[in-house]
Amino acid sequence: MKKIGGFLLDIVIGAWLILAIFVTICLLSYNEFAVSTFGKTSMIIIDSDEMEPDFLEGDLLLVKRNSDNKINVGDKVFYYNSAMNSSVLIYLDTIQSKESVTRDETTYLIDGRKVSGEYVIGKADRAKVIHKVGTFLQIFTSRWGFMFLVIFPTLFAIIYEIMLIVEASREAKINALREKEALQE
């Protein structure tokens, strides 16, 4: 029974460690819009019902950045709102027109706004949707979630290990004194 308990504890600690590392990596890979970006792939958490019926609140989207050559008029795309005073940072709309400014820079007209190509995240039809996972990731990557998921358990583990070391050194000292007394008798 003791082996099963130890095995289950190892599984829980291993799962916590994997989750803590994943959440930390997500937080470290935030861009200026607080979206985790890994290479050309962005992880978008749908936190409101504004993108329904296409995407539901709580969905996690993996959106791959398309080159400007593959994005055309009529495509539905995700893009960042460059006006930082807006509460909505990511929009989903259809491209109305496309204009090449330079060989490397393209400007799009989306919902009556001019949007630089660097703010376009990718096409909506190529997004991979993972339902309900966005809610959990949003909780885990929040300040409070990170504190309760990573910081507190790590702090408790460190304190526990320090207490074990102190207890072991105290026992070693007591055993050394007993051995010394036994030798003197």
Tell me the residue range of the domain where 158 lies: 143-185
Q: What is the CATH number of the domain that holds 128?
A: 2.10.109
127 and 37 in a common domain = yes
Question: Is 0.85 topped by the overall pTM?
Answer: no
The answer as to whether 87 is a domain residue is yes
pLDDT for 87 equals 64
111 and 164 in a common domain = no
85 and 125 in a common domain = yes
152 and 130 in a common domain = no
81 and 127 in a common domain = yes
The model's confidence at residue 88, banded by pLDDT at 50, 70 and 90, is low
Q: Rounded distance, CA 128 to CA 34, Å?
A: 19
Distance of CA 135 to the CA centre of its chain: 11
153 and 133 in a common domain = no
147 and 133 in a common domain = no
158 and 182 in a common domain = yes
Tens digit of each residue's pLDDT (9 = 90 or more) over 7-58: 888 898 899 999 999 999 999 999 888 899 999 999 999 988 888 888 899 9
148 and 131 in a common domain = no
Dihedral sign for Cα 100, 87, 22, 77, please: negative
108 and 61 in a common domain = yes
166 and 130 in a common domain = no
Domain count, the chain: 2
Tens digit of each residue's pLDDT (9 = 90 or more) over 133-181: 999 999 999 999 999 999 999 999 899 999 999 999 999 999 988 888 8
Q: Rounded distance, CA 95 to CA 121, Å?
A: 13
Amino acid code (one letter) for 36: S
